[in-house]
Amino acid sequence: MNTNNNKIKIKKTKKELCIIDSLSKLSINEHLNNTNISQEENCNENINLVEKKKKKIKKKKKTKKKKLKELCITKNFSNTNISKKKNTDNNTILVKKKNIFERNNKKNCLDYIPKKIVKNIYDAFCNYIKTMYNSEKELDCYIGRIANFPESVSENLVLYALQRKKFKASWNTRSGDLKYFKNKLWKKGEVKCKQNGPSQFSPSSKWDTLFFINAKDHLYGNIEIFMIENICSIDLDNVKINKTQTFKEQKDQGRRPRFNIEKVLEKYINNDNMIYNGTVNELLK
């Protein structure tokens, strides 16, 4: 009985061992399969990563190329724009020079500026002065020097005053402010106006006759025009411009002497030398 029992046990153990062995083989195979799968997955992941990196590199290269192209285009565009701008600037400079040249050629080509235009310029000048005065009143403060008459106004006022006195006169002159005909000769005239502030002279200015306009009351009153024939630029040479310099010394330095001409001309400002006394509007009727 014992032997039979032992045999049965041995058989059982063999079977169990076989089962265990088969199970272990199965588990090993499964494990191997799993490891293979995981390895494959890892490989696939790595491949995917590599491909992604390659794609990124390609994209970067493409974007770089695009940027380079854009830069080249913008550079070329900017260069063309710069060259165009230079050309346009050069053209505008040429046009300006041409206009200045033409304007200089046409300077003082009229005998007179028509009265209507002189009046328009004068009215605009008066409006500017009134604006300045009103601004100073409002601010209760001095804000700037008011200049004397524009030369186009002052010189043509003298011309119309001379015309009233039956002189042949013209603004069409290469030197001086105007010319007038007297004693069978054309004489050169220099016009100075005193409205507010000092008068100034060109270093090279020379004249036969000095015309002085007293315009201190022109806004609400009369102007006075004086024709001073017995004074020339040499007579002003010794006039003191400041404590250290004379009229001649400043002229010799190429400067424009500025001073109160009314004081210098005191003895010449009289009825004998007066050629007009009245309003600007009356003279320009």
Reported as a single tens digit per residue, the pLDDT across 91-126 is 666 655 556 556 556 666 889 999 999 999 999 999
In this structure, how many other beta carbons lie within 10 angstroms of the beta carbon of residue 261? 20
Helix, strand, coil percent values for the chain (each to nearest 5) = 60, 15, 30
* 73 vs 213, residue with greater confidence: 213
pLDDT at residue 71 is higher than 80? no
- Residues 78, 121, single domain; the answer is no
Q: Give the pLDDT band (50/70/90) at residue 193.
A: very high
Assigned domain for 106 exists: no
Diameter over CA atoms, the chain:
180
**What's the confidence (pLDDT) of residue 242?**
85
For residue 50, being part of any structural domain is answered with yes
| Predicted local confidence at residue 103, as pLDDT | 56
Please check whether residues 232 and 169 belong to one and the same domain: yes
Do 154 and 51 have their domain in common? Answer: no
- According to DSSP, residue 221 is labeled S
Low-confidence winner among 69-78, 201-210, 211-220 (lowest mean pLDDT): 69-78
- Residue 245 included in any domain: yes
Any domain includes 105: no
Positive or negative torsion for Cα 262, 264, 267, 268: negative
Same domain membership, residue 170 and residue 70: no
Average pLDDT, the chain: 79
Residue 92 lies in a domain: no
Q: How many CA atoms lie within 13 A of 154 on its CB side?
A: 23
Residue 256 to residues 72, 154, 197, 251, Cα–Cα distance (Å): 56, 19, 15, 6
Pairing of strands 185-194, 209-214: parallel
The per-residue pLDDT for 204 is 82
254-281 average pLDDT score: 90
Q: What is the CB-side half-sphere exposure of residue 50 using CA atoms within 13 A? A: 6
- The residue type at 271: N
Q: Are residues 37 and 129 in the same domain?
A: no
- pLDDT of 62 reads 72
Residues 161 and 249 in one domain: yes
**What average pLDDT does the segment 137-164 reach?**
93
Whether 10 and 147 map to the same domain: the answer is: no
Q: Which structural domain range is residue 29 located in?
A: 1-82
Would residue 110 count as lying in a domain? no
Indicate the pLDDT class of residue 16, thresholds 50, 70 and 90. low
Looking at the structure, do residues 66 and 169 belong to the same domain, yes or no?
A: no
pLDDT of residue 188: 94
Are 14 and 140 members of one domain? no
- Crossing angle, helix 115-139 and helix 151-164, to 10 degrees? 130
The answer, yes or no, to whether residue 13 has pLDDT greater than 90, is no
Report yes or no: 283 and 218 within 8 Å, Cβ to Cβ.
no
Q: Rounded to an integer, what distance in angstroms lies between the CA atom of residue 187 and that of residue 123?
A: 30
Query: Is the domain of 170 the same as that of 242?
Result: yes
Question: Which one, of 273, 167, 150, lies nearest residue 215 by Cα?
Answer: 150
Span of 7-21, 122-136, 236-250, 253-267 with lowest mean pLDDT: 7-21
In this structure, of 100-104, 152-156, 243-247, the range with the lowest mean pLDDT score is 100-104
Distance CA 176, CA 116 (A): 24
DSSP 145: P
Which one has a higher pLDDT value, 223 or 21? 223
Q: Is the residue at 196 inside a domain?
A: yes
Contact residues for 75 (Cβ-Cβ < 8 A; gap 6+):
none
Tell me, yes or no, whether 141 and 69 share the same domain.
no
Residue 27's pLDDT band (cuts 50, 70, 90): low
Question: Residue 36 and residue 38: Cα distance in Å, rounded?
Answer: 5
Model pTM score: 0.63
Residue 221 corresponds to which tokens in the numbers above? 């009153």
Same domain? 133 vs 9: no
End-to-end CA distance of the chain: 164
Domains held by the chain: number: 2
**120 found inside a domain:** yes
Whether residue 24 has pLDDT greater than 70: no
